[in-house]
Amino acid sequence: MLLRSCHLEPAVAVTVFVTALAVAAGRGAAGSAAVAAAVLAGQLSVGWCNDAVDARRDTACGRRDKPVATGELAPRAAAVAAGAALALCVPLSLLSGAAAGVAHLAGMVAAGWAYNLVFKHTVLSPLPYAVGFGSLPAFVTLGLPSPSWPAWWAVTAGALLGVGAHLVNVLPDIEDDLAAGVRGLPQRLGRPACRWLAPFVTVAAVGVVVAGPPGAVTLPGRVLAAAAAIVAAAGTAVPAGGRSRWPFRASIVVAGLAVAQLLLRGADMA
């Protein structure tokens, strides 16, 4: 039940993406493994925290996909798991060095918890996603043998991908959220606006990754940007409604394309 409650799909996706960034930037096998362990622990803590905080709302909305809402898992159990994963995340993050560890804990992890506890209900709901995902390149580059701040385009692309993920992640549940009094920015904008805004934001992130690094834009970069636009449009704009997860999965694919470009230009990220 704990595994079903941890939001495993996004947790694994974020972990794989950041680990790939670490490999591309030159963190080596041990450093990349440390990054993977820290990011996974942080994402698990955020996922369990989310289900524990939203237990009452999810139960009222009849969410059958969440063990806490169906009564299969006690909210307290999810809260304890979240706290344990958070405690484990601290030393795992610091394995990459003090500066990198602080960047991860004060960026991605703190932002995730802040969203669950505070920002989810406000017009500033995209802010934790922008801060969290934007801080991930810093976690990677500050842990290099010669630590450095990441390039502007890596931070900007990360922030845009985070905002896009937020938009499409809440898209299937907008009506339930509004009924439960959750009024983040996507809920205030409404389903039609979010369905079109989400692909624009994620494709903009890919555009920054393609055009931002030094040097001319290559043919593979242009092809990648075009593929991202097609995937985002197909996954986010086409499905008509309901609890479709395809918009979220499309954002994962687009993020993967962004990471693919980062892998090609990983040496330029630091």
Q: Count CA atoms closer than 13 A to 188's CA, side-chain side.
A: 10
Q: Contact 117/53 with Cβ under 8 angstroms?
A: yes
Mean of pLDDT over the chain: 86
Selecting from 1.10.150, 2.60.40, 3.90.25, 1.10.600, what CATH number does the domain 2-268 have?
A: 1.10.600
- Most confident of the following: 73-82, 116-125, 168-177: 116-125
Type of residue at 47: G
Higher pLDDT, 20 or 180: 20
**Residue 164, token pair as written in the block:** 């896009």
pLDDT digits 0-9 by tens, 216-261: 788 888 888 888 888 877 776 565 555 566 766 777 788 778 777 8
In the chain, domain spans: 2-268
- What HEC string does the chain produce? CHHHHCCHHHHHHHHHHHHHHHHHHCCHHHHHHHHHHHHHHHHHHHHHHHHHHCHHHHHHCCCCCCHHHHCCCCHHHHHHHHHHHHHHHHHHHHCCCHHHHHHHHHHHHHHHHHHHHCHHHCCCCHHHHHHHHHHHHHHHHCCCCCCCCCCHHHHHHHHHHHHHHHHHHHHHHHHHHHHCCCCCHHHHHCHHHHHHHHHHHHHHHHHHHHHCCCCCCCHHHHHHHHHHHHHHHHHHHCCCCCCCCHHHHHHHHHHHHHHHHHHHCHHHCC
* Residue 55 or 117, more confident: 117
Percentage of the chain exceeding pLDDT 90: 44
Within 10 A of 66 (CB to CB), how many other CB atoms are there?
20
Report pLDDT digits (tens) over 129-153: 999 999 999 999 999 999 999 999 9
The C-alpha atoms of residue 255 and residue 94 are separated, in whole angstroms, by: 26
Q: What is the pLDDT of residue 259?
A: 73
pLDDT for residue 84: 96
Q: Is the pTM of this model over 0.85?
A: yes
Residues 6+ positions from 91 with CB-CB distance below 8 Å: none
Mutual angle of helices 28-53 and 126-141, in 10-degree steps: 160
Contact, 251 vs 10, CB < 8 A? no
